């Protein structure tokens, strides 16, 4: 995407995986920090409570399989999130792990969470997130700056402690959501009589020094190459696909394969790697792909070939768990090293249930298809959709207007179910600057249900978190009126009027209170 200004050439004739585009993309994330996601880079589809719950279930199953195969685990199990970025998913994972603490204690496992990122500004930003900073202060989470393609020292992730090895050593869990699509890739053109490799012509709209991915312009030429110049893992994947009869354009995740090898080294071949990304996850999804499908650089990333990563892991004796169907927006995969397929039966069953049959791509594809019809759904149906997402606050935001409009029609039991779910939705809220004020919306629902005290408390929490507003003070005043406290109502109306002198409704209520009217009309 660009604004139509002149395209400036950056480079041409360079193999795609060696292109400057990847270095500029890394610099973009380092320079922008948390601002990269403010209405620019989408993130919700891989940063939500539904994925976190599925991942924690898979981690538990993996550790159960590990203990059966290798005996009791000696030491702490580290759960390392690579490319944590804004930290939203980190918060969901910390919450899901805390809820499963008793289950981990039952198998004698202590879990420590490590959020990591290439950008130091992101690491610094996590300190301002109350959920993340609380886990850091409690000692069961830590933060690290880490380059998954360059850093080889385990102490950069795990601290100064000796990394355990040998019998009984703990496996490591790696999470890589929306990471592999930002690492270097190669595209090959497979024809009946030859295989060609993509070189890139990289230009940018406007200033050629800009780091804005929206201005990146990529086009490709294909030419012969020397196979021995390829990383061995990439060469083997290309040979596999030729032998399997694939023809057309095939993307191979050169950077992701290098990252997997680095993680194998860091974990001493004891690991579970799980990720959700925009990706191709089945071999039939790779067939007859056009260049525009595999080479499009959209939302600062490129489609990932998870199937190739899986074949590489299996080649190293590991286990690959991939979605059985191809989703248009998101695929989820898990790769296990240190267990054979017969030793990983529970992991495979859990993945099939939690991350394939109810895959994030399936669930959020369904949500996105249904939300445009939300006004045709009653409150019970809307709650069912919310429940399917593990009470995702972003989905709540997407249906809030419909919930509010249909609330008066809901049966008492359904209204009670909604009230019971609201604390969970609140705990899943997005705390990034600029995110919707979920606490305010929950307070508004409680107000409509005449739960005056709960609504008043939520309005106060909303203002403590997001700052004062005339609207919040006005609604707080109405809640105080509903609860029969005219003095508190007057104070809140006065504050609303002070913040917004043009708010005539607040002025009107102050006059009514002076006249002795203390109940809504």
Calculate the alpha carbon distances from 236 to 14, 312, 384 in Å: 22, 9, 46
Tens-binned pLDDT, residue by residue, of the chain (521 aa): 334 444 678 888 999 999 988 998 888 888 888 887 775 667 788 899 999 999 999 999 999 999 999 999 988 999 999 999 999 999 999 999 999 999 999 999 999 999 999 999 999 999 888 899 999 999 999 999 999 998 877 777 777 555 656 666 899 999 999 999 999 999 999 999 999 999 998 887 766 566 677 778 888 999 999 999 999 999 999 999 999 999 999 999 999 999 999 999 999 999 999 999 988 888 878 876 777 777 776 666 788 999 999 999 999 999 999 998 877 668 999 999 999 999 999 999 999 999 999 899 899 999 999 999 999 999 999 999 999 999 999 999 999 999 999 999 999 999 999 999 999 999 999 988 888 999 999 999 999 999 999 999 999 999 999 999 999 999 999 999 999 999 999 999 999 999 999 999 999 999 999 887 766 54
Domains and CATH numbers, the chain: 44-182+257-364 (3.40.50.150), 376-514 (1.25.40.10)
Distant-in-sequence, close-in-space partners of 323: CB < 8 Å, separation ≥ 6 = 281, 282, 331, 332, 333, 355, 356, 359, 361
Cα 172 to chain centroid, rounded:
20
Task: Report the Cα–Cα distance between both ends of the chain, in Å, rounded.
Answer: 53
User: CA-CA distance, 516 to 518, in Å (whole number)?
Assistant: 6
- pTM for the predicted model, two decimal places: 0.92
Residue 295 Rama label (left phi>0; alpha psi -120 to 50; beta): alpha
């Amino acid at each position: 995407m660009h604004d139509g200004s002149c395209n400036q050439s950056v480079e041409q004739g360079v193999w795609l995986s060696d292109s400057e585009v990847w270095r500029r993309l890394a610099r973009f994330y380092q320079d922008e920090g948390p601002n990269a996601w403010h209405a620019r880079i989408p993130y919700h589809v891989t940063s939500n409570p539904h994925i976190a719950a599925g991942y924690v279930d898979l981690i538990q199953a993996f550790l159960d399989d590990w203990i059966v195969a290798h005996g009791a685990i000696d030491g702490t199990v580290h759960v390392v999130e690579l490319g944590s970025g804004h930290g939203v998913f980190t918060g969901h994972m910390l919450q899901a792990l805390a809820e499963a603490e008793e289950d981990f204690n039952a198998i004698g496992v202590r879990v420590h969470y490590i959020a990591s990122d290439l950008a130091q500004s992101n690491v610094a930003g996590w300190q301002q997130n109350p959920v993340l900073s609380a886990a850091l202060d409690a000692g069961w989470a830590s933060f690290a700056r880490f380059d998954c393609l360059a850093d080889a020292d385990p102490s950069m992730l795990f601290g100064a402690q000796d990394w355990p090895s040998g019998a009984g050593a703990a496996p490591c869990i790696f999470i890589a959501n929306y990471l592999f699509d930002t690492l270097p890739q190669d595209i090959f053109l497979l024809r009946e009589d030859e295989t060609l490799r993509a070189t890139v012509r990289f230009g940018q709209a406007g200033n050629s020094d800009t780091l804005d991915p929206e201005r990146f312009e990529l086009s490709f030429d294909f030419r012969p190459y020397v196979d021995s110049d390829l990383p061995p893992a990439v060469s083997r994947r290309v040979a596999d696909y030729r032998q399997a009869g694939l023809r057309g354009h095939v993307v191979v995740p050169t950077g992701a394969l290098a990252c997997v090898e680095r993680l194998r080294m860091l974990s001493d071949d004891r690991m579970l790697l799980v990720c959700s990304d925009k990706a191709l996850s089945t071999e039939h999804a790779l067939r007859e792909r056009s260049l525009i499908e595999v080479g499009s650089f959209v939302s600062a990333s490129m489609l990932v070939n998870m199937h190739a990563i899986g074949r590489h892991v299996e080649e190293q004796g590991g286990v690959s768990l991939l979605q059985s169907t191809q989703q248009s927006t998101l695929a989820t995969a898990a790769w296990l090293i240190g267990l054979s397929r017969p030793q990983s039966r529970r992991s495979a069953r859990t993945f099939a249930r939690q991350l394939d049959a109810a895959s994030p791509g399936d669930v959020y594809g369904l949500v996105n298809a249904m939300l445009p019809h939300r006004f045709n759904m009653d409150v019970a149906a809307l709650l069912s959709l919310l429940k399917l997402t593990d009470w995702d606050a972003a989905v709540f935001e997407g249906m809030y207007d419909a919930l509010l409009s249909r609330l008066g029609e809901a049966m008492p039991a359904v209204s009670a179910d909604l009230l019971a779910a609201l604390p969970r939705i609140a705990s899943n809220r997005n705390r990034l600057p600029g995110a919707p004020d979920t606490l305010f919306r929950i307070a508004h629902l409680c107000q409509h249900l005449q739960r005056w005290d709960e609504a008043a408390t939520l309005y106060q929490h909303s203002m403590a978190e997001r700052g004062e507003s005339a609207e919040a003070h006005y609604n707080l005043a109405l809640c105080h009126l509903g609860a029969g406290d005219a003095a508190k109502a007057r104070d809140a109306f006065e504050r609303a009027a002070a913040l917004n002198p043009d708010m005539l409704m607040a002025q009107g209520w102050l006059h009514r209170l002076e006249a002795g009217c203390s109940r809504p009309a």
